[in-house]
Each structure stands twice: as C-alpha cells, then as structure tokens.
Amino acid sequence: MARHDDAQKALWALYHHAQLLADACLENRGAIPETAENQQAIEQLRKHRLIFDLDEDRPYSQVSRVVSDLMHHVTQSYQRQVSNADVSGLVEELEHIASAYAAATRTGAQADRELREAQAQELVANLIDTLRQITQQFTGYIHHQFSMVTDLDQRILENKRAITKAQDLNRLFDTLTPNYLAGLAGASDTLQYLLMKVLRRNLDRMRGDLVDATHGLRENLAKLEKDLDTRRYSSLIDVFLTHYERNPGYTPDPSLVEGAVNIPDVCATVAPMDLRATANIEDASQAHSLEEIVSGVLRQKAASLNEEGEEAQAPTKVTDSRNDIVEEPQDPFDTALDNLFEALPHLLEVGPTSALEAYRLLDVEHPEEVWLLAVLQRLQTLMADRAPVPPFELQAHEVERYSGNIEVSDIVFRKEEDACAA
C-alpha cells in the first residue's frame, strides 16, 4: 500500500500544481522561480522528486526529466524526441546547438542566439538529470544486491552487466573533458556558464558517485563469487557425506582420486590449520579489552626497567637550530618521475612513448609496478588540477579468477593527432 500511497500523492501533486509545471516546461525552459508564492509548491514537488536543484547559485528549481518528458509527450513537441534520446544523443544535440549558436553569433541573428541559448539551457538540464538517474541506478544495485533474482549465477551475471554499463558510462565521462566543453562554449558567456560551471560541476560530482558505486559493485561481485564457491564446496561435501552415511564400509579407490579432474584443493590436500586472531580496533566493544592489554604491557615494561636500573647518563648538549636551513636531497624516484614528464612533450614529437621504456632508461630502482602506479597518480593529479595531459592508453589485461580486476602492464603516451587517428 505504501507504493500506491506514494503514487497517489505524487499524482495529486502533479494535478494540484499543473499550471505551475506547464508554465515552467512550455514557457520557462523547465525552471520554477523560487519565490515566496511558489515555496509551498516547490517543497511538495521536491518531496516527490519531481523537481531538483540544478545550480545552488541560481534562484530557481529545475523540473525533473520525467515531468518534462510527460509534457513534451502530450504536446507532441520536438523536444520530446531529444529528451527520450540516450546520453550520446544528448551530447550530439548539444554539439549541434553549440555550432548553431556560433553561426548565429557570426551572422548577428539575435533571435536565433536567444533561441539556441534557451535550447542549450534545457538540454544541459536534461543531460544532467539523465546522467544523475543513470548514476543513481548503480547505487541502487549496491543496496538491493540484485535481490530480484534468487540464483547466485544470475546475480553474478547481473552484477557483471552492471559493471560493464558503469565502465561504458565512465568512458563517456572521459570524453566530456574541460577542453572539449570549452571548445563547445567558445566565447559565449552563457555557454561558458552552462558548460564550464554548471555541467562540469555536476559531472565531477556524478563521476565521484559512479566511482564509489563501481567499487561497491566489484566488492559485491567478489562476495557473490565467494558465496558461489562456498556453495559448490558445501554441495560436494554433502555428496561425500551422504555417500558415506549410506555406505559405512566404503573406501575410495586412490586411483580415482589421483585421476580426478577439477577436484578442489580443499578436498585433495591436508595441512595443519593455523588459528590466529586479532582484535578489531574499529569495534568499540573491544576497546576495554585492548586498554587492559596495553596497560599490562606497559606495567611489565616499567617493572623491568626498575629492576635493571637506569644508568646515569651524561648531560646532552643541546644546540638551537630552529633558524637553520637544512636541504634535503630529492628522492631519485621523484627526480626520475619529474624528468619523464618534463621530457614527455619532446619525446612525443618523435613518436609514442612507453612509461615502461622510460623506467628502464632512467634506471629506476623501485619495482615496475610502483613506477607505473606513480605515473598514473601523477596523471590523475594533473587531470584534477585541469592541467594539460597528453593522451595516454593503459595496456592492461583482466586478472584470471578475479572478475572485474585488471592488471596494467604499461602506459603509452601519444600525440593528440596520433590518438585521434588511432
């Protein structure tokens, strides 16, 4: 009944505020001004997720995509087709609007400029809302853990499919770079605000949510696969147990065990079990026990020092070095990393550059994995600071028996035109 009540209340809110929503969708590009007379309606509509805040700095709320789709459906308007397109279609439409806006600016057509600005604002709102709903789906997958299916194999299949969809969405986020959005915005203050501030801020926020959701999906997948292995082992043990109960004198033929294929290691080997236990320092209920253990160790150490006695030590001369300047030599590893990124623009003029080849040329003492991880972290830092980063490709392969995990073997840098040609 709760679902029926929510549905009835949401429909009642649509009916009660139909005039306000119709004016917003058909005349005001989906925006509802946050005035005193609209405050009660805004609170009721936001409660049912029929509107949302597009930008905290602007005094209006934006109609949700589901409501605008309904309006465009009943009015059979052109924007209905755009709203129902997928994310890629919305991005293509945004490119078209930006191109048309630039043409109108060159020809001085003021009316066309205003039309394209209105279309761009509504399209950006639809794009943000569509991406937000898609991203929230992955969060929902983590909470219900695909409980709509009961079989573990089916849950694993659904989980892998969700991870693939998240990776596709992440690749789409990769294409919406600051340089790309700045190229669409051009010199227009309106498009600069919509694309570089509103859209970019929401993209960063949703990408962070997507990364968290992807990590949760991978953890859930590992748990499901572990449960599946446990179920298989339990089934195998039950089969052996049932057979021994029905045949008390049964003795297996050793040749059968030796020639068996795909027998789990847990059933084919015997080894002493090493039992260990560690206190959970994050569990508040164990804090008292930990305090007692630490206090006992400190008391024993103090008693030992008192028994042995402390030898008198000569006074230590203390020198005031607070104003001294101490130069620490730079770590050779950091120096090698700096040298790589300083020489990278010149190396790319010659051809593609491999991080692993640079590792060998620079004679880095650390392992290859540490070097590749440091290069990747430096790239992520540059992208977070919105610094120019040359196109790069991760050469990786999926780790066997660990679904969803990849092992990076190299990072290859290319020039912009080479990456586009590839």
For residues 133-140, average pLDDT: 81
Own/partner contacts of 86-91, CB < 8 Å, gap of 24 or more, are 87/127, 87/130, 87/131, 87/134, 87/169, 87/172, 88/172, 90/123, 90/126, 90/127, 90/130, 91/127, 91/172, 91/175, 91/176
Long-range contacts of 95-101 (CB under 8 A, 24+ apart): 95/184, 97/123, 98/184, 98/185, 98/186, 98/191, 101/186, 101/188, 101/191
Amino acid identity, position 144: H
Query: DSSP string spanning 259-296?
Result: H-SS--HHHH------------TT-GGGHHHHHHHHHH
**pLDDT digits 0-9 by tens, 360-410:** 888 888 888 888 889 988 888 888 888 888 888 888 887 776 666 778 888
Question: Quick one: angle between helices 18-27 and 2-16, nearest 10?
Answer: 70
pLDDT value at position 283?
67
At CA 221, angle to CA 241 and CA 368, rounded to 5?
110
- Tens of pLDDT, residue by residue over 144-160, are 777 777 888 888 888 88
From the number of C-beta atoms within 10 Å of its C-beta (0-12, 13-18, 19+), residue 112 rates as middle
What are the domain boundaries of the chain? Answer: 1-84, 106-249, 332-421
The pLDDT score that the predictor gives to residue 77 is 43
Mean pLDDT of 223-240: 86
Instruction: Report DSSP letters for 14-35, one per residue.
Output: HHHTHHHHHHHHHHSTTEEE--
- One DSSP character per residue, 143-167 reads HHTTTT---HHHHHHHHHHHHHHHH
Q: Using 50, 70 and 90 to split pLDDT, how confident is the model at 212?
A: confident
At 78-128, the pLDDT tens digits run: 333 333 346 778 888 888 888 888 888 888 888 888 888 888 888 888 888
* Residue the block writes with tokens 């164990």: 286
Mean predicted confidence (pLDDT) in 199-225: 87
* 274-307 tens-digit pLDDT: 777 666 666 666 777 777 788 888 888 877 776 6
Residue 247 pLDDT more than 80? yes
226, two tokens:
């572990």
Beta strands per DSSP E along 303-391: 353-354
CA-derived radius of gyration, the chain: 32
The rounded distance, in Å, linking the Cα atoms of 88 and 85 is 8
Q: Residue 257 pLDDT more than 70?
A: no
pLDDT in tens, 151-186: 888 888 888 888 888 888 888 888 888 888 888 888
Q: Please give the average per-residue pLDDT across 312-322, as a whole number.
A: 68
Mean pLDDT across the chain: 79
pLDDT at position 270, please?
64
What is the spatial distance between Cα 409 and Cα 82, in angstroms, rounded to a whole number?
42
**Tokens representing residue 369 in the block:** 């994995």
The rounded distance, in Å, linking the Cα atoms of 206 and 132 is 7
